[in-house]
Amino acid sequence: MALVGRSWLLLIGFILFYVIYLLFGALIFSTIERPMEDKLRLEVEVLKQEFLNQSCVSAASLENFLFKVLAANKYGVFVLKNASATSNWDLASSMFFANTLVTTVGYGHSTPLSDTGKAFSIFYALLGVPFTMLVLTACVQRLLYPLVLAPVSLLQRSGLEPRPATAVHFVLLLLLVVLCFFLVPAAVFTKVEGSWSFLDGIYFCFISLCTIGLGDFVPGMQPEQKYRTLYLGAVMVYLFLGLMMMYLLLRTFHKMSDVHGLTTLLQLPRCEDSDPDEDREPIVDHAESPQRQTEKGASNHLEPGSQVSYNTINKG
């Protein structure tokens, strides 16, 4: 009974800490951003007054006009002359939108206007999100041997113990990902976008590859973007490869935690599966000896009864 109590207490502790973490974040964000917001708000207000003074426009008429402009802006329709050159729904932009939808990044720089568009978005993501995960997983499983198993094996053969070997490998992989998917792309975005600082670039990469996708920075949205279709295509490839590497990094971290007993410490479910060969079996069928194929075929396809059926597990 004491154990049940302790276990619930632990879970409640987790949730309590989560709420505290949110409150802590809220306090920091509020402290940092509020003065900036007030400043910007004041600036805009002064600008509006100046505009009203310089012209013979009535405040109500301007307010009414701005209301419509901002409503259109919400849907990605801009009233400015320069910005309206490109549509949000040409083929390249639509594909970019579809891509951010199925990867759950969702910048929201343009959003469906019509009810049909909204309904189709739901239907499209319903199939697309799981399918994207499937493709990503298939790719990650292929990369697991050359990028994780082989290097760790190499490190071990060069004299390192298993634990330091996995740790050294993880740090090296992390550095590689930070370099290739954060620092270099951020530098490229800074160069191409013009108005982005390097921090903006890093911020964009991070917010995108975590699938948060706030949408305050979206590439290729400048009025006179050169080679826009090509550029958007490159960003889509970057997003796909980046998400793949983030997932690989997560899997590697989980595996390292297994070796270091971290998952045991946090009492997380361990990474290892019933079949120790799992990591050598990509989702998409991998080359194996014909004999092994037959064996696996026999155990997997012909004897469905041998599969663990979760309904037979009874609570002790």
Q: In the range 199-228, which residues lie near its own copies by CB under 8 A?
A: 199-200, 202-203, 206-207, 210-216
The only residue of 85, 179, 184, 197 in contact with its own copies, by rule CB under 8 A:
197
Interacting span for its own copies (CB under 8 A) from 171-179, 184-192, 223-231, 296-304? 296-304
Interacting span for its own copies (CB under 8 A) from 171-179, 185-193, 223-231, 270-278? 270-278
Closer by beta carbon to its own copies, 13 or else 180: 13
59: phi then psi, degrees, rounded to nearest 5: -60, -40
The only residue of 49, 171, 180, 270 in contact with its own copies, by rule CB under 8 A:
270
44 near its own copies, rule: CB under 8 A: yes
The interface with its own copies within residues 93-112 (CB under 8 A) comprises 94-95, 97-102, 104-108, 111-112
Query: For the chain, how long is the longest CA-to-CA vector?
Result: 87
State the alpha helices, DSSP H only, in 145-227.
150-157, 162-178, 184-193, 198-209
Contact 103, 132 (CB under 8 A): yes
The only residue of 18, 171, 223, 230 in contact with its own copies, by rule CB under 8 A:
18
* C-beta atoms surrounding 217 within 10 Å: 19
Please, is 126 exposed, middle or buried when counting C-beta atoms within 10 Å of its C-beta (0-12, 13-18, 19+)? exposed
- Among 259, 253, 263, which residue's Cα sits nearest to residue 174? 253
Interacting span for its own copies (CB under 8 A) from 33-41, 171-179, 185-193, 223-231? 33-41
The interface with its own copies within residues 167-196 (CB under 8 A) comprises none
The only residue of 20, 49, 75, 295 in contact with its own copies, by rule CB under 8 A:
75
* C-beta atoms surrounding 172 within 10 Å: 12
Phi-psi region of 209 (alpha: psi -120 to 50; beta: other; left: phi over 0): alpha
Query: Which positions ≥6 away from 212 have C-beta within 8 Å?
Result: 105
247 near its own copies, rule: CB under 8 A: no
Q: How far is the CB of 192 from its own copies (least distance, A)?
A: 19
Q: How far is the CB of 197 from its own copies (least distance, A)?
A: 8
What CA–CA distances, in Å, run from 91 to 64, 97, 228, 244? 33, 10, 11, 25
Q: How far is the CB of 163 from its own copies (least distance, A)?
A: 8
The only residue of 34, 184, 187, 230 in contact with its own copies, by rule CB under 8 A:
34
281 near its own copies, rule: CB under 8 A: yes
Q: How far is the CB of 58 from its own copies (least distance, A)?
A: 8
- How far apart (Å, rounded) are the C-alpha atoms in residues 259 and 158? 19
